[in-house]
Structure 1
């Protein structure tokens, strides 16, 4: 399969021309995107559509409890599963206005960064796949907007020729801030491994998150214990372990311990990544002009490392995978053109089976297969590009020696 999706060196030179996504024509692309967006809203059901922002209400309730001196981690109230840092950071500001400003700033940064991008349609198709993007926005979960902000900043830093250092430090700040609230945001720091002079950011982020965690353990030991207890209760007794391998095993198999489930999941993801990128071999730089789609593949890998992926994580994950595949596609690759439509339609079919056939495992299977299938396809593409680049470099060296 790697051979079938391998792109020749000449394709790299044609990238500005071939980067126009028209799988079925421009009008059909927009029509399909509109259908997918409307269907994503419909499939959320009346509960989410007419009572949105559930997660936002959880934040507001917990902050109100904290201000009044009550326990914000009461499992009989709104299940608030964020560390004490969230409470201490946002209990001293008017949260409604602050949260609205954060959402608007994230979306504005995304729109500004992508204003000249040619992959917006591909990214939007991925974002709406499975209704994940709409579901994340309707719940008002801060994570989906945090993902979009970080992705936009990484893209802006990779394309801008000035102030790259300032953008990287800004990225490091936001990654550390979000990781102090949701630890899996720490995986974004791995992208700095592929950034010129990025080791300082890669080291600074985990140090800051570690200091924030230690501060919470020392200053808020009771709240931290309540947080860990409620998080464990939420995952194990409420079947809230995510939508990929770890979550599926926790909900339906329960044969292995949570640690073993996580290890299996991480081994699968890391093995695919190493096979695709080989991070132990120089050069490690993103070098988008030499390896199309590399940046967004790295971002997808950072997202995939979270073993408890939810809708608000899967939506940006699919978007990054789609953009990575789009950037490394050619016009005449029919497999790619079909892929942009087949995956969203497969999730639509799974939802129809659940709705009318009452086969409730269909969506679980779709998430399980869909996430891995998409990541495998994009990993194979990156591997093919890497091998093609190495082969071209070897041929160039041979020609240089022959003419020298």
Structure 2
């Protein structure tokens, strides 16, 4: 039985897509791209010599490098080109892939993908571009082509991380690819230099940026949809550092349980046919390392988890099909409870549980494959020694 790709799978995907659009509400649908409007307004204020970090509507919480890079170009055309190029390259890189339905289903789960695109936040398009580049590089049979894509990845990760620091976590993937340590070191170095330059050249703007970011997270309860955000809102006894450490401990523990890169030879994400789905699992881990995950981060995270599970599934595994259907339906049920039962924390709880549950399920699959591959390698070595 094919895991996903039947008529009912496409029908279910269409249903989830339509429901994701409906649940956004008229307010979001008829006044979209408010994050883009925040960028444009802040850049206009900066060019006029005003302080862009004075709260006005949705606050501008990006570092001064964003203002200095994009205030000297026609931003609306540049942003449109970036969005279109990201989507076109994503479509081009996965045009022959068999996981499109699984990835799309994960992307739409909980309405995260539609909500993220409606905001016009650059992060969701940045995630899609980086994921597409990693997949294209891993599928490349030309070493020069792969190297060019990894260089482009290093550039975009450093650029995006200079604006949103959590993009730096994508550098972890370089730890698992051949000759990737140079990028693994170069990307954080470039981001550190960019941060030092901002502190030195724009100290006042940097201070205003940090102050506004702290206000947005703590005073406005905008700390994300996962464990860190829940703790920030409801467990005031813990410091922000304690919250972050606790969150990262949970995520890293699941990853170490599944992959355990510190034991023996590192498993390469791109060339390890015995452990399918590893590349997208590592990408999901990189996304999950962000303690302030928002809708525009969770959508590509779910997509990577779904693709990883799809690639590692067996044709006759009916439980995977149940999983692919059950998680989106659980989020739909939570939204209905909020809409008609007015139990407003139900959706927050569903995000909190859903992210860890999905990541835990995919981690279990990756661990099972890793253990099986290692046992198979030992068995082959034993047979070779016996015959030798």
TM-score over 0.5 for the pair: yes
Matches within 5 A, 1:209-288: 209-280=191-262, 281-286=264-269, 287-288=271-272
Q: Partner of 2:69 in structure 1?
A: 89
Local SS of the residue matching 1:117: coil
Q: Partner of 2:174 in structure 1?
A: 192
Query: Which segments of 5 or more consecutive residues in structure 1 lack a partner in the other structure?
Result: 1-17
TM-score of the two chains, using structure 1 as the length reference: 0.94
Q: Partner of 2:290 in structure 1?
A: 306
Give the C-alpha shift of residue 354 in structure 1: 0.3
Local SS of the residue matching 1:135: helix
Give the counterpart of 1:47 among 27, 37, 62: 27
Distance 2:250 2:47 in 1: 43
Distance 2:304 2:98 in 1: 14
Local SS of the residue matching 1:290: coil
2:47 is the alignment partner of 1:67 = yes
Contact 1:288 1:295 in 2 (8 A): no
Distance 1:333 1:204 in 2: 42
Give the C-alpha shift of residue 231 in structure 1: 0.2
Contact 1:296 1:321 in 2 (8 A): yes
Q: Partner of 1:13 in structure 2?
A: none
| Worse-superposed segment, 37-46 or 275-284 | 275-284
| Worse-superposed segment, 55-64 or 245-254 | 245-254
Give the C-alpha shift of residue 120 in structure 1: 0.3
Matches within 5 A, 1:285-300: 285-286=268-269, 287-300=271-284
2:306 is the alignment partner of 1:322 = yes
Give the C-alpha shift of residue 250 in structure 1: 1.0
Matches within 5 A, 1:113-124: 113-124=93-104
Distance 2:93 2:386 in 1: 45
Give the counterpart of 1:368 among 346, 352, 358: 352
Give the C-alpha shift of residue 285 in structure 1: 1.1
Local SS of the residue matching 2:7: helix
Distance 2:18 2:58 in 1: 30
Contact 2:3 2:320 in 1 (8 A): no
Give the C-alpha shift of residue 253 in structure 1: 2.3
Give the C-alpha shift of residue 186 in structure 1: 0.1
Distance 2:66 2:243 in 1: 28
Distance 1:58 1:256 in 2: 32
Query: Which segments of 5 or more consecutive residues in structure 2 lack a partner in the other structure?
Result: none
2:110 is the alignment partner of 1:127 = no
Distance 1:250 1:206 in 2: 27
Q: Partner of 1:4 in structure 2?
A: none
Give the counterpart of 2:134 among 154, 160, 177: 154
Local SS of the residue matching 2:80: helix
RMSD: 1.0
Contact 2:32 2:119 in 1 (8 A): yes
2:125 is the alignment partner of 1:145 = yes
CA deviation vs aligned residue, 1:335-385 (integer Å, no higher than 9, x gap): 111000000000000000000011111001100000000000000100000
Contact 1:293 1:326 in 2 (8 A): yes
Matches within 5 A, 1:386-397: 386-397=370-381
2:151 is the alignment partner of 1:169 = yes
CA deviation vs aligned residue, 1:301-325 (integer Å, no higher than 9, x gap): 0000000000000000000000000
- Bigger relative contact order (CA 8 A; separation at least 6): 1
Local SS of the residue matching 1:187: helix
Give the counterpart of 2:338 among 333, 351, 354: 354
Distance 1:150 1:48 in 2: 27
TM-score of the two chains, using structure 2 as the length reference: 0.98
